[in-house]
């Protein structure tokens, strides 16, 4: 889906990555009521952030929302550390979605 568009953070490729993600999400949107994205790769985060409202995507972990930088010192953990540290946030969101059915 995004081969060649995600290997390094490149603002020039973001538009192409967003469009590739949008096309794929359009093809699968009818199969899902809710999309929860638990992302620790900045390029994917920015691409999904661009289409989140359009597809009703809940982006997690929330520590990255509005973050100017993903610097370990500012965020408090590396991307892998954040992924592990905020997994409860993911579980809570899934539980909330299941309970609303």
Residue 53 belongs to what H/E stretch?
Answer: helix 42-55
Burial class (CB in 10 A: 0-12, 13-18, 19+), 21: buried
Structure tokens at 20: 């590739």
Q: What is the mean pLDDT of each run of 10 residues along the chain (101 residues)?
A: 55 88 94 90 90 94 89 89 93 90 69
Helix and strand counts by DSSP (H, E) for the chain = 5, 2
For the chain, what's the residue count?
101
pTM to 2 decimals? Answer: 0.82
Are 41 and 70 in contact by the 8 Å Cβ rule? The answer is no
pLDDT at 1: 45
């Amino acid at each position: 889906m995004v081969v060649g568009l995600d290997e390094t953070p490149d603002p020039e490729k973001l538009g192409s990555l967003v469009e590739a993600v949008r096309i794929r999400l359009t093809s699968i949107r009818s199969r899902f009521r809710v999309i929860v994205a638990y992302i620790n790769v900045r390029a994917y985060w920015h691409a999904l952030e661009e289409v989140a409202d359009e597809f009703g995507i809940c982006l997690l972990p929330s520590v990255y929302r509005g973050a100017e930088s993903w610097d370990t010192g500012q965020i408090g953990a590396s991307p892998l550390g954040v992924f592990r540290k905020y997994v409860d946030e993911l579980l809570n969101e899934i539980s909330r979605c299941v309970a609303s059915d």
